[in-house]
Chains A and B, each alone.
Chain A
Amino acid sequence: MKVKAMRRMVAHGDYLDDEESLRAYSYDASGVEQIPLVIVRPRHVEHVRRILVHANQYRIPIVPRGSGTGLRGGAVRKDAVIMDLRGFDTIDKLDTQLNTVDVGAGVTFKALKEWLATHKYSFPLEPSNQMATIGGLAAQNVITEESMLFGDWTEMVARIECFDGLGRFQVLKGKDVAKVLGWEGSTGVITKLRLNVIKTHKRTADVIHVNNPSEALAHAERASQIQGTLMIEYLDEFSSKLMGLSADQHVFIVYANDAGSYKDPLKVNELVQARKRLTHALWNEGYLFEGEASLEEEQIERFVARCEAAHVPCYGHLGVGIMLAGLKSAAELEKFRVNVVALGATPGGKYGYGRVKKEYVPQALRKEAIKLKDQRDYNMILNPGVYV
């Protein structure tokens, strides 16, 4: 009854409680499955406010959701109301003086990319899954290859419009955006973002054949000294082959200037897109699970050696210290995580932790989450079970 009252808080047809809708929102790309209570699809900030105030009054858990492309189960929860934010789908106000654009949280990356391209602009943190919504990517603070030069989402988002757990509308700017970005909807519901965009720029690249990871690291070290290095990627033999290179280990470096030897923009774009689609290429080869690890430089060599010994394809962002591995089963993935912990590294960091990796949340991050929850959502209604 308390949940049913939400029917009046959204537009007609935007309160869904039929069996098929509940099933459709019971999973995301992580494979986690939990049947929610109902689905609400707000299209206006007033809808969001009403729902959150009501949820607070009756302690009803709310899970914000975009396209459901998350890999950590952060947009799925049983006995919760799923708040589908794709109704906030406008792109407007490209400010060519400040190089910013205002985007609704429900806009997909693909739609934004195409819109910006018509204005000769781009948003540099490009995810491999372009169906993901901007709100979802920001909420997870997804790390991409380009994070080496541009940092994470907290650095590329100038301002957000959001609600805290009590239903209070807020505009957060500057460093304050970090109170919501990266916390997977557990500290706020984002409705609009002002993104820092860049004018479409020249990119060049180098593809360097290496014999071992230490050679790769040496090249990475040199490349990181060059101003404008956009990404430094390690590719093992198998990943190289899938990218259309020879079956050797490679370092793939992209520069936001003329420093690379590949200068043809079409060729560079082809290589970048091939790198972005590497995960998809691995899926096609039966490696349906992706392992990730945040590593210190000295751990990378051991990581690659272990993957090699276990015949596990690996690749990753040397520039930001995140390595990825292709795995064939959930059991292999679990074994991989145990091995990463044994290395002294963290099995996560690229896509957030969600429900799948909650046990791996570093202690400092958990403490920070508790502090933010106390300030912003002390009734624990926003995505409970994620971080805290």
Chain B
Amino acid sequence: MKHDVDQCVLCSLCNLGGEAYQLSKDERRAPRHVVWNLKKGRETPALYSFMLNGRTEAHCPVKIAIDAEVIDGRRKLVKRGVETVENKKMVEKILDGKNPYKS
């Protein structure tokens, strides 16, 4: 059973799976904060640095599909024109008919 972000109880157990957060203790990078933002309908560029390795949702007691929600959030960001520099470069190369992975 998978729930959406509205079911998040902010327990912060997902933070156990956040490698960047564990190292930095930076609350802005906390998986809980990413989910909180999504719950509020705020897709922030921090979604691009979220690791989609399933570790955060593995710790979620409510079984929220965090990775899928993050991917969905990234889609919304792209639609709004908020992209990473690397992503923009790749798209430009594709449009120019070049290899997107070659620097």
Q: Select A129's contact among B13, B28, B33, beta carbons within 8 Å.
A: B13
Residues of chain A at interface, number, CB under 8 A: 27
Known: A21-B27, A27-B36. A288 touches B1 (CB 8 A): no
B62 interfacial contact with A, CB 8 Å: yes
Q: In the assembled complex, which residues on chain B have CB atoms less than 8 Å from the CB atom of A67?
A: 12, 15
Report if A24-B12 is in contact (Cβ < 8 Å); known contacts: A283-B61, A284-B1: no
Contact check: which of B12, B36, B61 meets A284 at CB < 8 Å? Answer: B61
A131 within 8 A of B: yes
Query: Does B16 contact A131, Cβ atoms closer than 8 Å?
Result: yes
Shortest distance between the CB of B4 and any CB in chain A (Å): 12
Instruction: Knowing A24-B33, A284-B61, A284-B62 are in contact, say whether A69-B27 is a contact too (CB < 8 A).
Output: no
Interface size on B, residues (CB 8 A): 22
Residues of A within 8 A of B63 (CB): 284
**In the complex, chain B residues 1-30 whose Cβ is within 8 Å of any chain A Cβ:** 1, 3, 7, 9-13, 15-16, 25, 27-28, 30
Q: List 28 A-B contacts (CB under 8 A).
A: A20-B28, A21-B27, A21-B28, A24-B27, A24-B28, A27-B10, A27-B36, A29-B9, A29-B10, A29-B12, A30-B10, A68-B12, A68-B27, A69-B11, A84-B27, A129-B11, A131-B11, A131-B12, A131-B16, A280-B11, A283-B9, A283-B62, A284-B1, A284-B3, A284-B61, A288-B7, A288-B9, A288-B62
Q: Which residues of A contact B (CB under 8 A)?
A: 20-21, 23-25, 27-31, 67-69, 84, 86-87, 110, 129-131, 277, 280-281, 283-284, 286, 288
